[in-house]
């Protein structure tokens, strides 16, 4: 059914919460915030564009402050991001799928960071295109990112499926008129995924593999 499988990165391929939480806390401390959240309380912060995450985290619309937080965040994220781990079973799944299908990545993370992470994990060669946001925050919504992948691949929307762990992934896929798989092992809750109504739901990596294998 599908010729192209578009993957989200954080919460779908890699467990990156520790590194993202550490970077967010560094940013908060650098910008003078005395209270910082525990990593487990920042799971919602993973997925949406960084600017949106900080606006919600510190409850502000002050762009100057948000810019300072993002700069401080990236001061350490550029290095600690390379410590993120793949979810068990993901590497084998990607290798198997890449034998017959074209894999692509769509992440709100800047392309330069996403590319470095995949290179460190020795997976970059499996992806035909790695599409992330720009460092200035443009092209950061899932709708824009998925659209860019589709345009790059130059194929009908019916040839694509997007795999992600947050409602923004499912909504972005719908707005581009492609199918989606919502995974429950990432950072989105079961309620969040179910209410966004993806084409398929995968409880774990094994089930994701079964869905993609039987649907491709």
- Does one domain contain both 70 and 128? no
User: 96 vs 34, which has greater pLDDT?
Assistant: 96
**What pLDDT is attached to residue 1?**
79
For the sheet containing 102-110, what is the strand order? 127-133, 102-110, 4-7, 160-164, 179-183, 200-202
Looking at the predicted structure, is the pLDDT value of residue 62 above 70?
yes
- Does one domain contain both 44 and 64? yes
Out of 8, 15, 165, 179, the active site residue is 8
Average pLDDT of the chain is 93
Q: Among residues 83, 98, 119, which one ends one of the domains?
A: 83
Q: Among residues 28, 57, 83, which one ends one of the domains?
A: 83
pLDDT band at 215 (very low <50, low <70, confident <90, very high): low
Query: Into how many domains does the chain fold?
Result: 2
Beta strands in 30-146 (DSSP E): 85-86, 102-110, 127-133
If we measure between CA atoms, which residue out of 191, 214, 200, 208 comes closest to residue 88?
208
Sign of CA dihedral 75, 141, 181, 131: negative
Domain that holds residue 190: 4-15+84-215
- Does one domain contain both 9 and 25? no
For residue range 99-113, list pLDDT tens digits in order. 999 999 999 999 999
For residue 120, what is the domain's CATH number? 3.40.50.1000
pLDDT band at 216 (very low <50, low <70, confident <90, very high): very low
pLDDT band at 47 (very low <50, low <70, confident <90, very high): confident
- Does one domain contain both 77 and 91? no
For residue 32, what is the domain's CATH number? 1.10.150.240
- Does one domain contain both 106 and 32? no
For residue range 25-46, list pLDDT tens digits in order. 999 999 999 877 787 788 899 8
If we measure between CA atoms, which residue out of 154, 138, 132, 216 comes closest to residue 181?
216
- Indicate if 8 belongs to the active site: yes
Tokens of 47: 């997925």
- CA 58/CA 163 separation, integer angstroms: 30
Q: Among residues 83, 105, 131, which one ends one of the domains?
A: 83
Looking at the predicted structure, is the pLDDT value of residue 127 above 70?
yes
């Amino acid at each position: 059914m599908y010729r192209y499988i578009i993957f989200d990165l954080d919460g779908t391929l890699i467990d990156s919460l520790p590194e993202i939480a550490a970077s967010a806390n560094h940013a908060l401390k650098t910008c003078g915030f005395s209270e910082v959240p525990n990593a487990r309380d920042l799971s919602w912060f993973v997925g949406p564009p960084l600017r949106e995450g900080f606006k919600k985290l510190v409850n502000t619309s002050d762009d100057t402050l948000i810019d300072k937080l993002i700069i401080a965040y990236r001061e350490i994220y550029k290095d600690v991001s390379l410590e993120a781990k793949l979810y068990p079973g993901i590497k084998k799944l990607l290798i198997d799928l890449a034998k017959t299908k074209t894999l692509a990545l769509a992440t709100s993370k800047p392309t330069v960071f996403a590319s470095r992470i995949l290179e460190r994990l020795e997976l970059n060669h499996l992806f035909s295109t790695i599409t992330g946001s720009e460092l200035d925050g443009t092209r950061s919504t899932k709708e824009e990112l998925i659209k860019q992948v589709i345009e790059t691949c130059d194929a009908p929307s019916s040839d694509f499926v997007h795999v992600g762990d947050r409602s923004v992934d499912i909504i972005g896929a719908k707005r581009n008129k492609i199918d989606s798989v919502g995974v429950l092992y990432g950072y989105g809750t079961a309620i969040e995924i179910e209410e966004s109504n993806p084409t398929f739901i995968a409880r774990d990596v094994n089930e994701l593999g079964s869905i993609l294998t039987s649907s491709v």
